[in-house]
Structure 1
Amino acid sequence: MITVNARATFSSEGPFKLTTIERRELEPHDVLIEIKYAGICHSDIHAARGEWGPVNYPLVPGHEIAGIVAKVGSEVTKYAVGDRVGVGCMVDSCRDCTNCRNGEEQYCLNGNTGTYGAIDRYGQYTQGGYSTHIVVTEDFVVRIPDGMELDVAAPLLCAGITTYSPLRHWGAAPGKRIAVVGLGGLGHMAVKIAHAMGAEVTVLSQSLKKKEDGLRHGADHYYATSDADTFEKLAGSFDLIINTVSAKIDISAYLSLLALDGTLVNVGAPAEPLSVNVFSLIGHRRSFAGSTIGGISETQEMLDFCAEHSIVPEIETISANQIDTAWERVLASDVRYRFVIDISTMENE
């Protein structure tokens, strides 16, 4: 086993503490990655605080990982020592079911293996990117394009692919009218990517305080959902709505903003159930859908797309001993727009 430093939470209340964890010795197709940066996702907070189910503590979160290949297994063909690589929300799947064979490993019929909080095929509890090193099979590693810095690449492994995948699947393109609900870590990436795909983009946010940012990211329009007139004015306006918020909202009200055959896609994952008035769907043949991340090939496609269009998230880099404060700021929506941990600070108390 390989012993590495990490920051872990030992209960649902925290705080984070410096500790050591074990990584497996390299199998023939494994890659050892020296982690340089790890993004903080709202999902980390939901998971670590037990809001999505029981947790086996201590837990090391982190599924937005960017680093350098430090060592490769004897049969690795895709990567070499020194390569710039990333790891996202999953580190394995069955690789044999229909979805896996079709490159949709995120929807593995036998359940993909999460980067943290899961049991892998070796019977080990997976631990994430708030650590100095990680061992991952080469098939679940992606390449960071040349010219893209590792710190801004990290959040693309979740926030980037989580928004790119539904935009691509539901056909974001010139002539499409797309709304993005929320301008946070996910939302600002959705705006940038949808704009680059040529769509007409509208941001729907609680207030107008981030309007200048939204327009700078590529939005054509920006409306406050706290203003009741917004829903009346925009009724039937959109072909696609991407809901990025991880809080309970009035789904039926947002469905009313869809045009005929429009789709509302939820990528935010609130802990509370969301209710839907079926008449909001059947009146205009609307759809209410969900989407998670993308498969490995689509994640690589997203990285290459972002590199081609110079799309990167806006980040605030923090040290490892600022994780607790960063989490509280995420919950208070006090970040523009993604925290990224500088893993070189991991050993500092």
Structure 2
Amino acid sequence: MTNCLAYGVHEAHTDLAPLRIERRALRDDDVAIEIAYCGVCHSDLHYAHNDWGSTIFPCVPGHEIVGHVTAVGGAVSRYRVGDRVAVGCLVDSCQQCAACEQGEEPHCEKGMTPTYNGRDRQTGDTTLGGYAQHIVVREKFVLRVPEALDLRYTGPLLCAGITVWGPLREYGVKQGTRVAVVGLGGLGHMAVKLAVALGAEVTVITTSPGKADDARALGAHHVLLSSEPAAMKGASSSFDFIVDTIPRKHNVNPYLMLLARHGKLVLVGALEPLEPIHGALLALNNRSISGSLIGGLEQTQELLEFCAEHQVLPSCELIRMQDINAAFKRMETNDVKYRFVIDMASLEDGEHS
């Protein structure tokens, strides 16, 4: 086992602070990674605060991890010391069920092992995330970062990016597809960039007129204000595909009305009960509604390759590890465009200050 410096919490509703954690000794199929950057996800805040009542303490958040290989186990064949690599939201799964065999590891029938706040499948130890100097991960769950991608901005692709990439690919978004993105936060801004890169005609749907310029700067072709009834009525039955990134309970009926024949709306933000859905809105135009989590390993690697080829990167603000609590407070008020990324070199600086 090895000891390293990390940031985490020992109880809910306290500030993240430095702590020492243990990483396991290398197993035959393990890869040891020095963490260069780690993205900050809204889930990190929720787990640190135990908002969902399921946090295992101590908790070290972070599941948007990028860095370099420092050591490999005896059976590792895909990576060598020095390679640029990434780790996303999960670090293990059963590898035997139908979901795992079909490359849908997040839907493992026996439960996937999250990068933090989970249990190691062999020892039962709590998994601890990427707000740390290094991490040890099973080779299968390590991704390769293409040379053309800037490591500083790669992390959020592993969560926000893959969350919207999955449905864009599953539903065949391509040149000419009429796509609407509801909400313009961490998920929404990535949906805009990726849909545009796929060749879609992209509209951002927002309640805020002030976000129109931001939406167009990200590549959106149109902006639709959902707070204007006449504009919403005029857009009825005009979209092939809608990505709904609103992260809380809301009324989806106004968005269903915007779907064209055989149109699909996918929820990627709200993980709680929704307001009642009017069945007639689904029957008319043969519309459908579904949900999507994160993608599997193969799909995430595909995303990294696509982003490298098309130079699609999230819009990020780099922060020091010591500024994480201020970043959490800013996230709570949506004061970020559009993702925070921690420069992990600052972690060691703080230890010696």
Q: TM range, normalised to the smaller chain?
A: over 0.9
Matched residue, 1:338 = 339
Shifted more, 29-38 versus 211-220: the winner is 211-220
The Cα of 1:16 is off from its aligned counterpart by 0.5
Q: Which runs of 5+ in 2 are unaligned?
A: none
Deviation sequence 1:307-348 (CA, Å, 0-9, x none) = 000101111000111111111111211101110011111141
Query: What amino acid is the match of 1:247?
Result: R
Matched residue, 1:316 = 317
Instruction: Tell me, yes or no, if structure 1 residue 8 matches structure 2 residue 11.
Output: no
Shifted more, 325-334 versus 44-53: the winner is 44-53
Question: TM-score scaled by structure 2?
Answer: 0.95
Matched residue, 1:149 = 150
Matched residue, 1:211 = 212
Residues 47 and 275 (structure 1 numbering): CA distance in 2 closer, same or farther, change over 3 Å?
A: farther
Work out the CA distance in 2 between the residues paired with 1:52 and 1:236: 37
Q: Do the aligned residues in 2 keep the contact of 1:207 with 1:223 (CA within 8 Å)?
A: no
Matched residue, 1:39 = 39
Matched residue, 1:20 = 20
Matched residue, 2:286 = 285
Q: Do the aligned residues in 2 keep the contact of 1:52 with 1:271 (CA within 8 Å)?
A: no
Matched residue, 1:74 = 74
Instruction: Tell me, yes or no, if structure 1 residue 61 matches structure 2 residue 61.
Output: yes
Work out the CA distance in 2 between the residues paired with 1:32 and 1:244: 34
The ranges of structure 1 where at least 4 consecutive aligned residues each deviate by more than 3 angstroms after the TM superposition are 269-275
Query: What amino acid is the match of 2:210?
Result: K
Q: Do the aligned residues in 2 keep the contact of 1:2 with 1:22 (CA within 8 Å)?
A: yes
The Cα of 1:228 is off from its aligned counterpart by 2.7
3-state DSSP of counterpart to 2:3: strand
Work out the CA distance in 1 between the residues paired with 2:278 and 2:50: 29
Matched residue, 1:106 = 106
The Cα of 1:212 is off from its aligned counterpart by 1.8
Work out the CA distance in 2 between the residues paired with 1:288 and 1:12: 35
Q: CA RMSD in A?
A: 1.4
3-state DSSP of counterpart to 1:129: coil
Work out the CA distance in 2 between the residues paired with 1:12 and 1:257: 41
Query: What amino acid is the match of 2:249?
Result: K
Matched residue, 1:170 = 171
Q: Do the aligned residues in 1 keep the contact of 2:250 with 2:274 (CA within 8 Å)?
A: no
The Cα of 1:272 is off from its aligned counterpart by 5.2
Question: TM-score scaled by structure 1?
Answer: 0.96
Query: What amino acid is the match of 2:94?
Result: C
Work out the CA distance in 1 between the residues paired with 2:234 and 2:12: 43
Task: Map 1:124-139 onto structure 2 (within 5 A).
Answer: 124-139=125-140
3-state DSSP of counterpart to 1:51: coil
Q: Which runs of 5+ in 1 are unaligned?
A: none
Work out the CA distance in 2 between the residues paired with 1:335 and 1:4: 29
Matched residue, 2:92 = 92
Shifted more, 282-291 versus 82-91: the winner is 282-291
The Cα of 1:295 is off from its aligned counterpart by 0.8
The Cα of 1:176 is off from its aligned counterpart by 1.1
Paired-residue identity, %: 48
3-state DSSP of counterpart to 2:135: strand
Query: What amino acid is the match of 2:19?
Result: T
3-state DSSP of counterpart to 1:346: helix
The Cα of 1:255 is off from its aligned counterpart by 1.1
Matched residue, 2:244 = 243
Work out the CA distance in 1 between the residues paired with 2:275 and 2:195: 25
Work out the CA distance in 2 between the residues paired with 1:343 and 1:299: 23
3-state DSSP of counterpart to 2:45: helix
